[in-house]
Structure formats: C-alpha cells, structure tokens
C-alpha cells in the first residue's frame, strides 16, 4: 500500500510539472489553412521586423499545487510569458521567442498569401530593399493551464489513468500589426487582433499539446490580416 501511495504522489507531481518534454513553436500549424490569393500579387515586397515587446512579466505557478489539497478540485498556472516558465500541464518548457518567431510567421503568411512578390523577415538592415514594412507589437501570449485532481488530491491521478481529463490548457494571443508604405511613409493598414485556443487534455488525447494553440492562433490572426490587407492595398485587383 505504501508503494502505491508513493507511485500516486510521484504521478501527481508529474502531472503538475510536465514530464521533462520541451515543446517548440512551429509555424504554420496547418499549411493548408493559410489564406492564399493566387494571381493577386501587387508586384511589391514587404519586410517584417521583430515585434515590439509589451507583455506583462507576471508568471504564477505555485497555485498548481492546490490540486494536492483534499477537496480542492484543481490547481492552475497563469503565465504572461510562457517562454520564461517551467512546468505546464503535460510539458516542462516552451521553446518560444515570440517577438522573433511571430514576426517570421507573419512574413511566411504574407509570402504564401500571394499578395506580394516577396515577403521576408529582417532585423532591420534589409528593410530598405522592400516597398512595404510590417511592424508588430506583442501584447499578450498568456497561458492558463488547469490540472484536475477531482478533489481527491494524489488519488485523483488514478482517474486520469482510466481516461478522465488531466486538465485544460488555454493559449491567448494578442498582437498589433501595422503595414507602412516605405515610399510615402503612409500607414496602409493597422489593427489590434486577438484570439484564444483552449483544449481539454488526457493521458491518451492531446497530451503534450499545452502550447500548440499559439501556432493555430497565429494562423487565425494572419488569415484575418491577409484578408484585410488585400482590401487595403492600393494596387489590389
């Protein structure tokens, strides 16, 4: 009996600290879902520079251990900067440089959209070679994760073995984007966009997908942006 209790305690700790896996931001999540306008190129190029950082630095993880208290149904994490955190629902770390990774993702979507002859990421030195400049501000990449113990403390981990959910993960993304004509210095289009992706996870489903939603959230933001930029371009067909 003692060995069983030790096993369940270790299992519960693994559930609330991840299992040593490092997740990585990968874009696009679904290449087939990217918005494309074949034959609609304006014949010009756009440069994308690293996004400006405007996120809060607050990360909270101690509340995840609340699930070990009897009759408390869950513990939770709230990370304003998940890239600087350790311990998620089912992974340990998130390899993510939002201001660079999101800017590169924006460049990729713009290039694949067919609206421009070319779109590329630059730290700034090559933007003079472009006709347009896309700049961004990262306002939020908030992560909220819940690990469920069902009020049973360490004994709740037994239910997860039988298929009940381990918990949930929610990925929030909020960005401001601005497209500027480098010849006239006029702002062609700008907008603040936000979206959220939430999943329920178990040992046998969506395990390890704690931060996978950031990729699909960026896809959604860029698909909306591409649609609106097409309407805003002066050379649109």
**pLDDT tens for the 237 residues of the chain, in order:** 555 555 455 555 555 555 568 999 999 999 999 999 988 899 999 999 999 999 999 999 989 888 889 999 999 999 999 999 999 999 999 999 999 999 999 999 999 999 999 999 999 889 889 999 999 999 999 999 999 999 998 787 788 888 999 999 999 999 999 999 999 999 999 999 999 999 999 989 999 999 999 999 999 999 999 999 999 998 644
Round to whole Å and give the CA distance between 41 and 123: 24
pLDDT of residue 157: 79
pLDDT at 208: 93
For position 215, what pLDDT does the model report? 98
Instruction: Give CA–CA dist 133/66, Å, rounded.
Output: 47
* Contact (CB, 8 A) for 67 and 153: yes
Number of CB atoms found within 10 A of residue 79's CB: 23
pLDDT at position 159 is: 87
* Helix or strand run (H / E) with residue 177: strand 167-181
pLDDT of residue 237: 43
Q: Which of 90, 84, 98 is nearest to 21 (CA)?
A: 90
Run of H or E residues at 10: helix 2-17
Q: Is the whole-model pTM more than 0.85? A: yes
Q: Is residue 18 within 8 Å of 89, Cβ to Cβ?
A: yes
CA angle 108, 196, 194 (to 5 degrees): 65
């Amino acid at each position: 009996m003692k060995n069983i209790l030790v096993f369940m305690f270790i299992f519960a700790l693994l559930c609330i600290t991840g299992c040593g896996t490092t997740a990585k931001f990968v874009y696009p999540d679904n290449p087939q879902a990217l918005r494309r306008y074949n034959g609609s190129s304006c014949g010009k190029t756009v440069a994308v520079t690293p996004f400006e950082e405007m996120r809060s630095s607050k990360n909270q993880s101690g509340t995840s251990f609340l699930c070990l208290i009897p009759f408390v149904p869950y513990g939770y994490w709230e990370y304003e900067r998940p890239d600087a955190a350790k311990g998620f629902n089912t992974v340990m770390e998130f390899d993510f440089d939002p201001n660079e990774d999101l800017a590169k993702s924006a460049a990729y979507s713009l290039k694949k959209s067919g609206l421009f002859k070319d779109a590329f990421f630059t730290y700034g030195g090559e933007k003079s070679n472009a006709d347009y400049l896309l700049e961004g501000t990262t306002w939020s990449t908030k992560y909220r994760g819940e690990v469920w113990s069902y009020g049973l403390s360490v004994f709740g981990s037994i239910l997860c073995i039988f298929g009940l959910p381990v918990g949930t993960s929610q990925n929030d993304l909020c960005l401001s984007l601005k497209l500027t004509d480098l010849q006239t210095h006029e702002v062609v289009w700008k907008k603040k966009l936000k979206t959220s992706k939430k999943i329920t996870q178990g040992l046998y489903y969506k395990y390890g997908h704690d931060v996978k939603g950031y990729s699909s959230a960026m896809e959604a933001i860029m698909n909306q942006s591409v649609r609106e930029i097409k309407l805003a371009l002066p050379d649109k067909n």
